[in-house]
Amino acid sequence: MPSRAVRSPMDPPRSFLWIRRIVLTLLGLFTAVPLYVMISSSLKPLVDVQAAFTWVPSHLTISPYIDMWSTVPLAHYFANSAIVALCSTAISVVIAILSAYAVSRYRFAGRRVFTSTVLSTQMFPGILFLLPLFLIFVNIGNSTGIQLSDTRLGLIVTYLTFTLPFSIWMLVGYFDSIPRELDEAAAVDGSGPIGTLLRIVIPAAMPGIVTVAVYSFMTAWGEVLFASVMTNDSTRTLAVGLRDYASQNDVYWNQIMAASLVVSVPVVGGFLLLQRYLVAGLTAGSVK
């Protein structure tokens, strides 16, 4: 083994190592404080979170994790969030697979118009779509009786405004990275375009597809703007429902923190598991 004492010209100098240590420690603390506050407060009795803040709970209790389900209909909000996020993700991933395959494998008139529309709508402010969609839903309900505003279906449709362009854009990047030789080999074997998509491209792009799905799910799960307008008491999602803990006589900060932690776990877990694929996808999109 080469001795560690020998310094190669590639080794960073002491000053660099110290700066690295200091900066990363500070950043680590900056990241840690809110996470610690969230976790420790979720294990505190109510008197602790109503008095001056303490770093260590007076005693540990798991009752916030039990009480939070009855203070507000959290399970109901949970189900609403899950249905809306899952449906909008599923719809946008299926549509995105078809259109990304077309954009990635064919050259046709209107291709640029389509891709630039998709790219630009991704960057438009949500409020721009919210007002007209709300008005359209209300007036469709008025004239035809089909209720869209305040329903989960309506919310699913509005969530496509951001999950769909994102999914298409990311999947085009993934499909482009799959060698065309695979398609050609399948065509020689007598596979049609749809067969090639199903048997070659989709299996090869599976990590990408899963990543896009997880990412869509995350954004839908965390969406606040549309959810605050397009839902009522029975269709409310977590994003809006968590505010109910504060509208009671007491502010149940310990239960809010417990609920925040519980609703974060599915998306944070999924994200951290897939972060490697996600990085690849984001750069595939941004390099172009």
45 makes contact with another protein (CB under 8 A): no
Identify the residue among 166, 252, 253, 277 touching another protein (CB under 8 A): 253
Residue 109: phi and psi, rounded to 5, are -65, 135
> Given the complex with another protein, which of 54 and 234 has the nearer CB atom?
54
> Given the complex with another protein, which of 41 and 231 has the nearer CB atom?
41
10 makes contact with another protein (CB under 8 A): yes
Identify the residue among 60, 62, 75, 131 touching another protein (CB under 8 A): 131
Q: Which of residues 68-97 bind another protein (CB under 8 A)?
A: 91, 94-96
> Given the complex with another protein, which of 103 and 186 has the nearer CB atom?
103
228 makes contact with another protein (CB under 8 A): yes
> Given the complex with another protein, which of 60 and 279 has the nearer CB atom?
279
Is-contact 152 235, C-beta < 8 A? yes
Q: Which two tokens mark 170?
A: 């990311």
248 makes contact with another protein (CB under 8 A): no
> Given the complex with another protein, which of 135 and 206 has the nearer CB atom?
135
* One-letter amino acid for residue 243 of the chain: R
Is-contact 146 246, C-beta < 8 A? no
Q: Which of residues 140-199 bind another protein (CB under 8 A)?
A: 142, 157-158, 160-161, 164-165, 168, 193
Q: Which two tokens mark 88?
A: 């909008």
* Sign of the alpha-carbon torsion through 11, 16, 18, 21: negative
116 makes contact with another protein (CB under 8 A): no
Instruction: In whole angstroms, give the CA distance from residue 231 to residue 152.
Output: 8
126 closest CA partner among 226, 15, 234, 242: 226
Q: What angle do CA 264, 36, 26 make, to 5 degrees?
A: 110
283 makes contact with another protein (CB under 8 A): yes
205 makes contact with another protein (CB under 8 A): no
Following CA atoms 68, 73, 77, 80 in sequence, which dihedral angle do they give, to the nearest 10 degrees? 140
Identify the residue among 63, 121, 177, 191 touching another protein (CB under 8 A): 121
Site size for another protein (CB under 8 A): 99
271 makes contact with another protein (CB under 8 A): yes
Is-contact 154 135, C-beta < 8 A? no
